[in-house]
Amino acid sequence: MAEENQAGADRRLSIVKIYIKDMSFESPQSPGIFRSDDWKPNINLNLRSAWAPVEGDLYEVVLTATIEAKDRDSDKVLFLAEIHQGGIFEIAGYEKDEISALTGSFCPNVLFPYAREAAASIIQKGGFPEFVLQPINFDALYLKQLQAKQAEAGKAQAAAAE
């Protein structure tokens, strides 16, 4: 019991740095799009995250948000915004599977508000109405990804057994 408490005391999880790694914005239909009062685009959001060890107990996590607005009638791209929100996290004293959960769920959850603000700002500066990304449940997304990997591994085992 004392060993478990000692192991838990050696665990560290902290934010070292948060930064924008890359950001882009395109508005291929401007200025013509601004002459229309009818603003009802189809919005497509694609979120993904990736992580890599930096050195020692430091890990870089990058949350990428791609937001594409298309005209409902013509399917022309009205704007395309992409934000790569990065963070360096110190993660020490955790097992490999715990590090995977932290970098796949906790860290993207920390980065999301920064990516949301950057997206709202760049879209508004592009001349478009206010844009607000709704909250995302990164725990559920991580679990879904984990289940998909396990199902894929199960299928591979079943195919190998045949």
CA distance 54 to 56: 7
pLDDT digits (tens, 9 = 90+) for 111-134: 999 999 999 999 999 999 989 999
CA distance 57 to 8: 16
At how many degrees (to 10) do helices 107-125 and 138-161 cross? 120
- Strands across the sheet containing 12-26: 12-26, 77-92, 58-70, 42-55
Residues of the chain with pLDDT under 70: 1-9
CA distance 10 to 150: 30
Cβ–Cβ < 8 Å for 62, 84: yes
Cβ–Cβ < 8 Å for 44, 96: no
Structural domain 2-135, CATH architecture: Roll (3.10)
pLDDT digits (tens, 9 = 90+) for 21-33: 999 999 999 998 8
pTM: 0.84
Q: Which helix (H) or strand (E) holds 116?
A: helix 107-125
Task: Tell me what pLDDT residue 159 has.
Answer: 73
CA distances 136 to 24, 47, 76, Å, are 22, 10, 27
